[in-house]
Amino acid sequence: MLTIDTQIENTHHILTPSGEIDASNSVQLDESIRHLSESGARSILVDGTHIDYISSAGLGVFMSYLEDFQEKGVSLKIFGLKPRVYEVFQILGLDQLISIFPDKESALAQ
């Protein structure tokens, strides 16, 4: 099961997915990110501290926004991933394409 909480902190929109992100619910993550983008968010932070598992479908959601966000000047950062979830990003080389930080403070500092 996946739940997604959204908060605004200063100029940053913070998405907090909790649970597992897989093919059955990755559309939920996609809709949340799309909604923020369409509402004019310039800085999107994904709090990964409560993501227990992510499948290729979930990773694909993040990947699908990279080029579009780069063109629009939207910042997408992920922080606080558990080691085994971060490892999935690393294995596929996504840690080279997506800004991933150990915690919220370091994500905000960049």
Cβ burial of 26 (10 Å; 0-12, 13-18, 19+) is buried
pLDDT at 103: 98
The answer to whether position 110 is within a domain reads: no
* Count of domains observed in the chain: 1
- Per DSSP, helices labelled H in the chain are 26-38, 56-72, 83-91, 104-109
pLDDT at 110: 85
Share of the chain above pLDDT 70, in %: 100
User: How does 44-83 read in b/e, with b if 16+ C-beta sit within 10 Å?
Assistant: bbbbbeebeebeebbbebbeebeeebeeeebbbbbbbbee
The answer to whether position 85 is within a domain reads: yes
> What CATH number did the domain enclosing 54 receive?
3.30.750.24
The answer to whether position 9 is within a domain reads: yes
Q: What distance in Å separates the CA atoms of residue 18 and residue 15, rounded to the nearest whole number?
A: 10
Q: Which domain holds residue 16?
A: 2-105
pLDDT at 7: 96
- At 38-86, the pLDDT tens digits run 999 999 999 999 999 999 999 999 999 999 999 999 999 999 999 999 9
The answer to whether position 93 is within a domain reads: yes
Share of the chain above pLDDT 90, in %: 98
Which residue reads 């999935």 in tokens? 88
Residue pair 107/101 in contact (Cβ under 8 Å)? The answer is yes
pLDDT averaged over every residue in the chain: 96
